[in-house]
Amino acid sequence: MPRTKAPELTRAALLDAASRVLRTRGATLSLDAVAQAAGVSKGGLLHHYPSKEQLLQALAYALIEEFHTRLQAAHAHEIALHGDAPGAWLRAYIELSFVQDDEIEALTAALAPLATLPDLLRGLQEAQRFLIDETEADGLPPGRAHAIRLACDGLWAGRNSGLPDLNHAQRTALKEELQSWTRP
C-alpha cells in the first residue's frame, strides 16, 4: 500500500485487511498477517493501531457503523414503500435480521472474544445505543417493540453461537409473526 496523506483511507484499508485475515484465521490473527495483507510494514500498521486490541476494536466499531448504515437504508426503503407509519423502523430491522450474511456473521463471531473486555464492552454497548433509542421511537408500545427487536437479536445470536437454527419454514413463520406485531 503506497503511503498516503489521507490517514482515514489508510485506516480503512487496514481494517479491510484485518477483516480478510480475521475471516480466515479468526481472532488469532497477528498484526504481522494484517500488515502483510494490507501491504504495509508492521510499523505502519502500529502507527494507526498501536495494538491488536485497538485494531479489533476499530473493526468492531466499523461493523456497527456498517450495520447502522444498512439499517437506515432499509428504513428509508420501508418508508418509501409503505410510509412512515408506526413499526416502519422495526420492519426494516426484521428484514435485515433475516438476511443471512455469512461474511458479516463470520467477522462478528471472530470478534466475540472482545466482549470479555469490560471497557470495550461498555463502548460497544454505547455505540449500539441507537438500537434501543430507535426501537422506542418507532411508535409501537415499548414492550412489543423491544420484544420484536430482541427476538431478531436472539435469532441472530443463536446462529452465531452454535445454537440449533430454525429451518426455512420456521424462519418464515417467525418473520411473518414479527412483522404482524409491527402493525398497529
Extents of the domains making up the chain: 1-50, 56-181
Question: What pLDDT digit, counting tens, does each position of 55-71 carry?
Answer: 888 888 888 898 999 99
Question: What pLDDT digit, counting tens, does each position of 117-174 carry?
Answer: 787 888 888 999 999 999 999 999 999 999 999 999 999 888 777 788 899 999 999 9
Query: Distance (Å, rounded) from C-alpha 173 to C-alpha 82?
Result: 22
Query: Distance (Å, rounded) from C-alpha 113 to C-alpha 118?
Result: 11
Query: Distance (Å, rounded) from C-alpha 106 to C-alpha 104?
Result: 5
- What pLDDT sits at residue 4? 53
What is the four-CA torsion angle of 55, 57, 61, 63, rounded to 10 degrees? 70
Amino acid letter, 24: T
Class of 1-50 in CATH = mainly alpha
- What pLDDT sits at residue 23? 80
pTM attached to this predicted model: 0.83
CA angle at residue 152 from 16 to 154, to 5 degrees? 90
- What pLDDT sits at residue 133? 97
Residue 85 reports pLDDT greater than 90: yes
Question: What pLDDT digit, counting tens, does each position of 16-39 carry?
Answer: 898 888 888 876 778 999 999 999
Instruction: Answer yes or no: are the C-beta atoms of 84 and 165 closer than 8 Å.
Output: no
Candidates 49, 55, 11, 20; CA nearest to 1 is: 11
Please enumerate in sequence order all residues whose Cβ is within 8 A of that of 25, keeping only pairs 6 or more positions apart, or say none.
33
- What pLDDT sits at residue 5? 60
Half-sphere exposure of 165 (CA within 13 A, CB side): 12
Question: What pLDDT digit, counting tens, does each position of 9-20 carry?
Answer: 888 889 889 888
Query: Distance (Å, rounded) from C-alpha 32 to C-alpha 27?
Result: 14
Amino acid letter, 133: D
